Chains A and B, each alone.
Chain A
Amino acid sequence: MWRAITTILWKDLKIELQTKEAFGASFVFSLMVLVIFNFTLDLTSEEALKMGAGFLWISFAFGGVLALNRSFALERDENCVQGLQLMPVDRGGIYLGKCLANVIFMLVTEIILLPLFAVFFNVDITARPLYLLAVLFLGSVGFSSVGTLFSAIAVHTRMREVILPILLLPVTIPVLIAAVEATAFALGADTDPSFWFRLLIVYDVIFVTVSFLTFGYILQE
């Protein structure tokens, strides 16, 4: 199991380091979303502080969808899905390796976007840095948990990548709500975030487990 996870993880990280395709696409797209928000809403920095958490997560979610699509489009292009199917390891291990790689891609994009967000919208992001990191991590795990599974589903459809956001976004609404509320707290809002952190943890645990258990059916031929 551990071997499978680390092998898949290394494989995806190596490909990403060479091509930088997932990161490039999702980073530029996320940045674009932030810039478009600025033009369409024309905010003062107080307003930005109030709504910043929402902007951030919309931008992360949209960028994340691109990176998640890449995750299995990559396997389909060179017919690597067959290779994965033939691997004599537990299917759950393949899922966890893929999922972990996606979490890392999302986190890297988010961490690079944060200072840009701070500069563009004049928001102080250092109010509660540890909480901020925790939200980023838990939120990314939530998105990637179902996202990795749905990415494997999406590549087999006639619509290919187009279907992923339609499948993924309604199911991840709890993550989105909880992550936005917890990020608002991390950026200095005066609220009680304990419910939201608990919700994120519960969501992550449930959906990593369910995806882990059902991934075998998706990969099966």
Chain B
Amino acid sequence: MIERKDTIGTVLTAITAVAMIVSLYMVFLFAPREATMGDVQRIFYFHVPSAWLAFFAFFLVFVFSFLYLLRGGRRWDTLAAASAEIGVLFCTLVLVTGPIWAKPVWGVWWTWDARLTLTLVLWLIYVAYLMLRHYMADPERRATFAAVLGIIGFIDVPLVYFSIRWWRTQHPQPVMAGGDDSGLEPAMLATLLVCIGTFTLLYLTLLRYRLKLQALRDEVDTLQDRLEQAG
């Protein structure tokens, strides 16, 4: 039987909820209106943290996959699968919020520049990862094969990035990494950082719920087995 009472999970959910309210306040009321882009720029506070979360989740898929191959153990496999699911979800959000922002600002929904294309390719790689998991029945084998793909997929990221970047670059330079005159306004930077923190908390909360779900599924499976044996 698994523990029904989950104090850490409840606390984590509560903190995430509070952080979300704070983030929403900062995004819509605290952060100043962008001079040229107007209010549409506020999508930036969702777009960039989503991208951060997707990359973070895919990086952790790599770490968990590596640990699985190194040490074995079901736990690492479940963590990798959960992380990949969350990563694909937020990668999808990046691909949705990006065009919504791009259309009024650049005049086009999509451009084949390095960062956009990399996000799209990442999405394809990790959707393939989830499909592979889905089409494998044997859990041990699924874990091993998925781990190998999780490692290869992540090693591929810099190569994809540099190949596309060399191929074509028309994205504006990163605003924060530039010189003194191109930095973000302090209030905007603060909002962005708070949003990134909130999304990271959201990742941990979702990961926790996903692990709990897996534990429940396993319990159902064992109970079913026991019923079949008894019947």
Q: How far is the CA of A166 from the CA of B141 in the complex (A)?
A: 19
Given contacts A157-B132, A171-B153, A202-B159, A217 and B121 within 8 Å (CB-CB): no
Tell whether, in the assembled complex, residue A156 and residue B136 are in contact, meaning their CB atoms are under 8 Å apart: yes
Given contacts A156-B141, A207-B152, A218-B144, A167 and B159 within 8 Å (CB-CB): no
Given contacts A177-B167, A199-B159, A170 and B145 within 8 Å (CB-CB): no
Tell whether, in the assembled complex, residue B148 and residue A149 are in contact, meaning their CB atoms are under 8 Å apart: yes
Chain A residues with CB under 8 A of B125: 170-171
Q: Which of A149, A158, A167, A202 has the largest count of B CB atoms less than 10 A from its CB?
A: A167
- The distance from the CB of B54 to the nearest CB of chain A, in whole angstroms, is 15
Chain A residues with CB under 8 A of B162: 174, 199
Tell whether, in the assembled complex, residue A195 and residue B166 are in contact, meaning their CB atoms are under 8 Å apart: yes
Residue A110 at the B interface, CB < 8 A? no
Chain A residues with CB under 8 A of B135: 157-159, 163
Given contacts A167-B149, A170-B124, A181-B167, A153 and B159 within 8 Å (CB-CB): no
Count the A residues whose beta carbon is within 8 Å of the partner chain — how many? 30
Q: How far is the CA of A215 from the CA of B159 in the complex (A)?
A: 21
Given contacts A173-B163, A177-B163, A153 and B149 within 8 Å (CB-CB): yes
Chain B residues with CB under 8 A of A206: 155, 159
Given contacts A167-B132, A177-B164, A214 and B148 within 8 Å (CB-CB): yes
Count A-B pairs with CB separation below 8 Å. Answer: 78
Residues A190-218 near B (CB distance < 8 A): 195, 199, 202-203, 206-207, 210-211, 214, 217-218
Q: How far is the CA of A220 from the CA of B144 in the complex (A)?
A: 9
Residue B176 at the A interface, CB < 8 A? no
Count the B residues whose beta carbon is within 8 Å of the partner chain — how many? 29
Given contacts A159-B135, A167-B128, A174 and B155 within 8 Å (CB-CB): no
Given contacts A156-B141, A171-B156, A199 and B128 within 8 Å (CB-CB): no
Q: Which of A163, A166, A174, A218 lies in contact with B160, CB distance below 8 A?
A: A174
Q: How far is the CA of A174 from the CA of B155 in the complex (A)?
A: 12
Q: How far is the CA of A166 from the CA of B148 in the complex (A)?
A: 15
Chain A residues with CB under 8 A of B149: 150, 153, 167
Per-residue contact bits, chain B 141-174, to A (CB 8 Å; 1 contact, 0 not): 1001101110111011001101110110000000
Tell whether, in the assembled complex, residue B163 and residue A218 are in contact, meaning their CB atoms are under 8 Å apart: no
Chain A residues with CB under 8 A of B166: 195, 199
Smallest CB gap from A166: residue in B:
B128
Residue A141 at the B interface, CB < 8 A? no
Residue A66 at the B interface, CB < 8 A? no
- The distance from the CB of A108 to the nearest CB of chain B, in whole angstroms, is 26
Q: How far is the CA of A181 from the CA of B166 in the complex (A)?
A: 11
Residues A161-180 near B (CB distance < 8 A): 163, 166-167, 170-171, 173-174, 177-178
- Give residues in A with beta carbon < 8 Å to B: 146, 149-150, 153, 156-159, 163, 166-167, 170-171, 173-174, 177-178, 181, 195, 199, 202-203, 206-207, 210-211, 214, 217-218, 220
Given contact pairs A159-B131, A199-B162, A199-B166, a sample of 8 additional A-B residue pairs in the complex whose CB atoms are under 8 Å apart: A156-B136, A170-B128, A177-B167, A199-B159, A206-B159, A211-B152, A214-B151, A218-B148
What 9 A-B pairs are tightest by C-beta distance, nearest first? Answer: A170-B124, A174-B163, A174-B159, A157-B135, A158-B135, A177-B163, A159-B135, A170-B125, A214-B148
- Name 7 interchain pairs, CB-CB below 8 A, sorted by A: A149-B152, A153-B145, A157-B132, A157-B136, A170-B128, A177-B163, A203-B159
